[in-house]
Structure 1
Amino acid sequence: MLRAAQLVSIAAALAAALIVERGLAHAPGAYGIGSRGAAMASAVAADATDFSAGYYNPAGLVGATGLSLSLGYAYTSNDLRMNGAPSGTRDVHGLAGGLVAPGAVAGIPFAFGLSTFIPDEGLSRIKALRQETPRWELYDDRLSILFLAANLAVRPFPWLEVGGGLAFLASTRGGFQVTGRASVLSPYESKLEHEVDADLTTIRYPQLGLRVKAGDLGFVGLTYRGEAQLPLSIDANLDGVIDFAGVEVPLAYALESRTIDGFLPQQVVLGLSFQRIERLKINVDLTWVNWSAYESPVARTRAHLAVETPPGLDIDLPEDPRPTVAIPLEFRDRFVPRVGVEYVWPVAGPMRQISGEATPRRALEVPLRAGYVYERSPIPPQTGATNYVDVDRHTMSLGAGLWWNRPGAVLQGALRLDVHGQLSVLPEQVTEKANPADFIGDFRAGGTMISAGGTLTAAF
């Protein structure tokens, strides 16, 4: 029976290895998408008109002045700690980009947009942990998930823009099966076959947005993002015969695990962009995040061992393990305020007429940006048996760029290089357990996150 137990362990381990490590959400929701949005602390729900509008507000896509292609890269270094020691939270890095293609039908402006974030260490991650094991629940590998959004926007009136579409996330299903004959006394004579099956599936959720022009003051934006859950399924089966000194014992072992691989709460964003002063934009966003709908990531596992014992052979089989009982999490909804500022400095060069814009611009311009966001933790104090670690987060961001307007006959828009940096500070917080005999005990948690990246855009 020892050999069977080893095979079962191998089956479960290989099945789990197919799905790298657990993710909770995706990079756009935590650090922004595109250098312009990230540099302004993602306070661009009323002001994004490039590919990033596919996440921030699909209605803004129709504000693009021409066809544009964007490609960028961002890297986030996470230094999150417990009791002064690193928590092992992985760094996050990947490609971000997309396109915007505007046009008109029957005189009504419209635009189609694609936006994506592609992690460069895999498309989907999971990590199975006991609910008592301490982990940074909102940041522990949460960002290594493929994100793709396709949206369409129209401008039915000069003052109104409406957009919407679907966003896609990558989820995983895996299975492992072992069949054959195992010899206890002569393991090298065992004949076993295994089969691995894994699928990368997509989960879709809706995105809707509108943008209203408020005269000369600027724009008002409203965005809705639907909830998304990434289910994870793992099945492992062992079906074979154990040969012990000529005594054959048929057995079957089945393992079934179901959990939520990732969760994106539904969100509503209200954004204001003040543009009364030429070349200056002051943006304010307020986001409601429905964290109270969050489901426990604890795996629901069932296992069963069946053995056909030969006549006269008495074997005591262990009972099936009891299913895990998930402790209710009771996360709280939160409001997230964001502020972003951008000033475009006309550096040098002659005035040039840009395709799709009424006002000429300098040949070279340098945008300067800054932002701030405060995110209150949605996780209640972990004084009981669970240890879902989180603290409040303060993020300061800076960014700049170099815009080369109308560089040639082919590129009648602009060639833009934007860069950004972010510093997130999570002030240390002490959690005191209600039970002095708790096996984890009281703990301190806090840390920092540092992000940087760049985006290159060609506007035709």
Structure 2
Amino acid sequence: MRRAGLLALLAGTSAMLLAPSRASAHAPGTYGFGSRGAAMGGAVAADAVDFSAGYYNPAGLVGAPGLSISLGYAYSSNDLRMNDQPSGTRDVHGLSGGLVAPGTLAGIPFAFGLSTFLPDDGLSRIKALRQETPRWELYDDRLSILFLAANLAIRPLPWLEVGGGLAFLASTRGGFKVKGRANVLSPYESKLTHEVDADLTTIRYPQLGVRARAGDLGFIGLTYRGQAQLPLAIDANLNGIVDFAGIEVPLAYELESRTIDGFLPQQLVLGLSFQRIQRLKINLDLTWVNWSAYESPVAKTRAHLDAETPPGLDIDLPDDPRPTVPIPLDFVDRIVPRLGVEYLWAAAGPLRDVAGETTPRRALEVPLRVGYLYERSPIPPQTGVTNYVDTDRHTFSIGAGVWWNHPGEVLPGALKLDLHAQLSLLPERIIEKASAADFVGDYRARGTMVSGGGTLTAAF
């Protein structure tokens, strides 16, 4: 038995443990949350009063005209390329929705809201790569994960709304154990048992929001989202006997891996919503994203092998691997501008009283929306060993809907169907390596992302 035989066995065990699933972006932050927010480029921090306020600005929940329940679906097709070859980035798709329940407490208006995004292909994904391996860091390694937010909001003054709560994400922890007898010459005669133990753990971070009325001009909103990181902990343990031509060698192999599998930076959003012109809303959001705090996704591992070698048998055991030293990322904070416009067309039908509204509304109304955002890449040129791929992002969005106001006594509010579509363009970025001997070499990166979806809301 030589070193190669042992390494092959251990490599196979580690591969089963660390085999990555393809990961995807955190959907609410990248593709929008709900069809209205997505159609307006996410520029709704001063204007969201439905379930999406649970992400954009919790204070807006108290502005809801009444109880509402929403359910939606969105799909994003990601075509991200390096040197004109597909990078294998997964598409992102899932359900979104929530509820808003307003009321009064001691004469003070308040509201409770629940908001969620549920991927329809798994609650949590993991991906572990070496820092030299090229990857679209902000879209490939940021997770497609379960998002849930619970918030409360109050209106202490007629012109002031305040809200906040907690957002929940799902992280993964797991273990892998193998024991038994492995026959090197006759693998089918091996008798191995394995045990896998994995669970989801909850990661919480705060959300706070303020919304103020600026006279008849509209609203000003301010939102804070806390930082969240998803630790990934995997432990592997192998105990058994390797049988090589009748020579039995007991061995034990231990592996520990610790990494930050997902990182959501803290954000501060200033939103303006101009509503002086009847039925027209023009929104502008500026989002500060604390990318400089981004933590390296490189795994910190410890591995050790013990073997009881029979007397006179020459077995050259491999040394314990050196620990990986993550290279500083040096990401840069960014300001992301977002613009959204909405016009509500009173399409047809008689005027009707709508629950929660002070003035009658047409039976059928059609909202028309457009949006735009520009996100400059926070990742510096990858001229050294690391290959965290990214480019700037221009996102154009459109949307429309049909609102059926007061369709019946059971539904004194409205039945709303909203649709949206997005196109994100990631212009080409050329990376030139400082060393001509770099293993990866120079490369070009570019891409497009096409998204669409709908949201159905019942307002009571």
Distance 2:213 2:106 in 1: 22
Equivalent residue, structure 2, for 1:331: 331
In structure 2, what is the Cα distance between the partners aligned to 1:181 and 1:129? Answer: 31
Give the corresponding residue for 2:167. 167
Asked if 1:20 is matched to 2:21, the reply is yes
Question: Among the aligned pairs, what percent are the same residue?
Answer: 79
Counterpart of 1:30 in structure 2 is 30
2:344 counterpart residue number: 344
Could you tell me how far 1:100 is from its partner in structure 2?
A: 0.6
Q: Given the two structures, how large is their TM-score scaled by the length of structure 1?
A: 0.97
Alpha-carbon offset, residue 419 of structure 1: 0.3
Asked whether the 8 Å contact 1:270–1:287 carries over to 2, the reply is: yes
The answer on 1:438 being equivalent to 2:427 is no
Count of residues in correspondence between the two structures: 458
Q: Give the aligned partner of residue 10 of structure 2.
A: 8
- Structure-1 residue corresponding to 2:456: 456
Other-structure match for 1:396: 396
8 Å contact kept, 1:34–1:52: yes
Deviations 1:173-222 (A, max 9, x none): 11110112233445444332211100111111000001011111111100
Structure 1 distance, partners of 2:323, 2:389, is 24
Contact 1:118–1:145 (8 Å) recurs in 2: yes
* 301-310 or 30-39, larger mean C-alpha shift: 301-310
| Letter matched to residue 16 of structure 2 | L
- For residues 116 and 452 of structure 1, what CA distance do their matches in structure 2 show? 18
CA gap 1:318/1:4 in 2 versus in 1, 3 angstroms: closer
Cα distance, 1:8 vs structure 2: 2.8
* C-alpha distance in 2 between matches for 1:354 and 1:8: 67
Corresponding position of 1:418: 418
Quick check: 1:20–1:124 contact (8 Å CA) kept in 2? no
Code of the residue aligned with 2:21 in structure 1: it is V
Amino acid in the other structure paired with 2:345: W
Deviation sequence 1:219-245 (CA, Å, 0-9, x none): 110000000000001111111122334
CA apart distance, 1:437 = 1.7
Distance, in Å, in 2 between the alignment partners of 1:177 and 1:325 is 27
Alignment of 1:72-83 (within 5 A): 72-83=72-83
Give the AA of the match of 1:12: S
Give the match's secondary structure for 2:121.
coil
Distance 2:245 2:134 in 1: 46
Contact 1:74-1:452 within 8 A present in 2 as well: yes
Which 10-residue stretch deviates more, 329-338 or 119-128? 119-128
Cα distance between partner residues in 2 of 1:458 and 1:22: 33
CA contact (8 A) 1:21 1:124 kept: no
One-letter amino acid of the structure 2 residue matched with residue 459 of structure 1 = A
Shift of 1:161: 0.6
What's the offset of the Cα at 1:408?
A: 0.2
Q: Residues 86 and 188 of structure 1: is their aligned pair in 2 closer, same or farther, counting only changes over 3 Å? A: closer
Instruction: Find out whether 1:158 has 2:158 as its counterpart.
Output: yes
Q: How far is the alpha carbon of 1:7 from its aligned partner?
A: 4.2
For 2:272, the equivalent position in structure 1 comes to: 272
Cα distance per residue 1:72-116 (max 9 Å; x no partner): 111111111111222211111111111111111111111111111
Q: Secondary structure at the match of 1:12?
A: helix
What is aligned with 1:308? 308
Residues 11 and 176, structure 1, Cα contact 8 Å, conserved in 2: no
* In structure 2, C-alpha distance between the alignment counterparts of 1:356 and 1:424, rounded to whole Å: 37
Whole-Å separation in 2 of the counterparts to 1:241 and 1:336? 57
Separation of aligned partners in 1, 2:190 and 2:450: 52
- Measured after TM superposition, the shift of residue 271 of structure 1 is 0.3
Aligned counterparts of 1:86 and 1:184: Cα–Cα separation in 2? 39
CA distance in 2, matches of 1:143, 1:253: 30
Name the SS of the counterpart of 1:139 in structure 2.
helix
**In 2, are the aligned partners of 1:12 and 1:176 still within 8 Å (CA)?**
no
Hey, what does 2:40 align to over in structure 1? 40
CA-to-partner distance for each residue in 1:36-84, whole Å, 9 max, x for gaps? 0000000000000000000000000011111101011111111111112
Distance 2:186 2:395 in 1: 61
On the 8 A contact 2:142/2:263 being kept in 1, the answer is no
Tell me the distance in 2 between the aligned counterparts of 1:259 and 1:425: 31
Structure 1 residues 257 and 231 mapped into 2: Cα distance closer, same or farther (>3 Å)?
same
Q: Distance in 2 between matches of 1:186 and 1:13?
A: 21
Q: What is residue 368 of structure 1 aligned with on the other side?
A: 368
Q: Deviations over 1:395-450 (max 9, x none)?
A: 11110000000000010000000000111111112111111221221111112111
User: Equivalents in 1 of 2:371, 2:244: separation in Å?
Assistant: 69
Report if aligned partners of 1:279, 1:345 keep a CA contact under 8 Å in 2: yes
Per-residue CA distance 1:292-330 (angstroms, 9 max, x = gap)? 001111111111110112233332211111111111110
Shift of 1:143: 4.5
Matched position secondary structure for 1:260: strand
How far, CA to CA, are the matches of 2:143 and 2:400 in structure 1?
Answer: 25
Q: Which residue of 2 aligns with 1:319?
A: 319
Q: Is the 8 A contact 1:121 1:144 kept in 2?
A: no
Alignment of 1:18-417 (within 5 A): 20-22=21-23, 26-140=26-140, 142-417=142-417
Task: Write the distance in 2 (CA, Å) between the matches of 1:117 and 1:185.
Answer: 50
Greater Cα offset, 234-243 or 110-119 = 234-243
Check the 8 A contact 2:143/2:262 in 1, yes or no. no
Structure 1, 239-248 or 395-404: larger mean CA deviation: 239-248
Moved more, 73-82 or 138-147: 138-147
Residue 427 of structure 2: aligned partner: 427
* Distance in 1 separating the partners of 2:180 and 2:319: 24
Distance in 2 (alpha carbons) for counterparts of 1:114 and 1:422? 25
Q: CA deviation at 1:373?
A: 0.5
Q: Secondary structure at the match of 1:416?
A: strand
The amino acid that maps onto 2:418 is D
- TM-score, normalised relative to structure 2: 0.97
In structure 2, the gaps of 5 or more residues are none
Q: Which amino acid aligns with 2:311?
A: P
Runs of 4+ residues over 6 Å off in structure 1 = none
In structure 2, relative to structure 1, the CA distance for the partners of 1:387 and 1:112 (3 Å cut) is same
